[in-house]
A and B are shown apart, each in its own frame.
Chain A
Amino acid sequence: MRKHLMTGAVCVALSACETGTDDASSSSGGAQAKGNAQIFLEAEDTIPEGLEPGDGEENIQDGWTVRYDKFLAVVGNFRATSSANSQASLAKPDVLVVDLRSLPVGGLVLAEFTDVAAIRYDRVGYDIPNASASSTCAPGISADDCAMMKQNGYSIFIEGVISKTDGQSCSPTQPNQCVAAAEVRFRWGLAAGTAFDDCAPPEGDSGFSIPTGGTAQVKPTIHGDHWFFTNITQGEEITERKAQWIANGDLDHDGETTLAELGQVAASDVFPASEGYNLSGAIIPVNTARDYVEAQARTLGDFQGEGECPTRRILD
């Protein structure tokens, strides 16, 4: 009898040895805990408010003021998985055509996930894809704008103006040949579909965590000022903002800089290293100023405000 009991006790102990480790959620006991996640789309404040000239790091350094009249984007295909739990996966393949200047103050709900595993999802990504017929027009975007995006297959469309009282438009190849240009308009549509992955908040681990019985608020964030950066930022935005190159790109001096004109401007002519420009790190070659616009359009997807999605992939 004693022998049986001793054996039994040892077996109990050893069988306990076979229990695996668990993740944080189940560690709080019992069955897999559940929670919810709301995925909001947030537009950086530069999109509705533009950028001001000045000496501050957040200002346009060369005196131009930037205003957007239209900032449309296609956003969606949100996904999140857990490295620690291959069964846990969140995905919403829908894509929305969004007017980022008319988002609700609290952000636009891109996706909602209810009663999902309350764990940390450390592999998070979303797309800014090219619009297609299957894209959905989000609330707040006009039917015409949405149709235009779909028709042209754009991922991003921006329209606006840069202004400077004593502004000039100078020849990219003859910098001393300038004409007055107090305002220069731009109206650019780009099929620069890009996937953004491995998103991480400004601090802490990648992804986000869903609380047990609660709701995680997750914010893919679209930035609106990367065209004005003097470099292709990787991580922390150690950069300056300048807009003179847009004015210089108005080759015919008609008050509007078109993408076609930018396609004729060599990047090296308007982005001199002597003014702090550095074009390394783009996921496409930057031969022209138009390429620069597209390269920066492929960096707009951020996460939780100033967090990064450092893995970027071109989408067809």
Chain B
Amino acid sequence: MNTTRCICIFLAFVLSCGASGQREVEYAAVGVGRAARVVEARGGWQVTLEEARVALGPVYFCATQAASADLCPSARAELLATWPWDALDPRSQHLGTVHGVTGSIGSAQYDFGIVWLETDTQPRALQGAVDGHSAVFRGRATRGDRTLRFVANIDAIPRAQGTHVVQGARTSADVLDSHTRLEVTVDPNLWWSGVDFDEFVDAPADDVVVVPADSRAANAVLVAMTANATPQFRWVAP
């Protein structure tokens, strides 16, 4: 047996030379948030976030510019780990390890902690979701002397079984080896710039507005998260 093993090791050493095309790579992913600041929302409301916890993942990076279940049967890289991170913290936060292969990346498809897998009859939150949600926000909106305190649990739910909530998100990279790091940047402040707080202006002054999931405000945050102010992916030196 030892002889066999020696022969095998020798063969592996001698015959493993030669270019092999794509190679496996593995590198860290970090999340970088943006510190809370006042943003102007619709209707003249000034919004300030006090809490923004987001679950991002799983993320799949694809060769095509049109990542989707149909056009990305095989990914170039993926970040499967999902857990809540503080999107108001501008410091780098470890998100997990990206596994993949070398080559160019043209787009990404991903979820925010809630997936609707091929084998699931309905969407479900991953263990790494934020208390079972895609994102949890707390903040205040002010217009003149009117201040609305609000909390919102946002669920970004894929629209169909076996799809992701964000598909075809253009991103560009050419990953040559593992000597890189994925930096994911989000600006949760921007996600609230499209919200019209007039929807809640009739709420009692001292109450904390709980933004309903089917409200226009929640949809505005969703549209921002998934279409207009999406996470930005950059591959930087580690």
Contact = CB atoms under 8 A, between A and B. Distances in A.
* Direct A–B contact in the complex, CB atoms closer than 8 angstroms: yes
Interface of A: 173, 198, 230-236, 238, 266-269, 271-274, 276-283, 285-287, 308, 310-312
A232 B168 contact: yes
B70 interface: yes
Contact of A268 (B67, B69, B219): B219
B64 A310 contact: yes
- The SS class assigned to the B binding surface is mixed
B26 interface: no
Given A232-B168, A278-B165, A310-B71, A268 B64 contact: no
Contacts, number: 103
B165 A236 contact: no
Going nearest first, the 8 A-B pairs with the smallest beta carbon separation are A281-B168, A235-B70, A234-B68, A310-B66, A279-B227, A268-B220, A234-B66, A235-B71
Question: Chain A CB within 10 Å — which of B42, B67, B70, B230 has the most?
Answer: B70
Contact of A269 (B71, B169, B216): B216
17 contacts: A230-B159, A234-B67, A235-B69, A238-B160, A268-B219, A268-B220, A268-B222, A272-B219, A273-B159, A276-B159, A278-B165, A279-B226, A280-B165, A280-B166, A280-B230, A281-B68, A281-B167
Nearest to A236: B70
Contacts of B165: 278, 280
A280 B64 contact: no
Contacts of B226: 278-280
A274 B159 contact: no
Given A272-B219, A279-B226, A280-B165, A312 B159 contact: no
A307 B151 CA distance: 45
Contacts of A266: 42, 194, 196, 220
Interface in B83-129: 106
A234 B71 contact: yes
A287 B196 CA distance: 13
Interface residues of B, number: 35
A276 B165 CA distance: 11
A212 B64 CA distance: 31
Interface in B42-68: 42, 64-68
A295 B33 CA distance: 28
B32 interface: no
B153 interface: no
A309 to B, nearest CB: 9
Interface in B208-230: 214, 216, 219-220, 222-224, 226-228, 230
A272 B218 CA distance: 9
A173 B227 CA distance: 20
A155 B214 CA distance: 36
B219 A311 contact: no
B82 interface: no
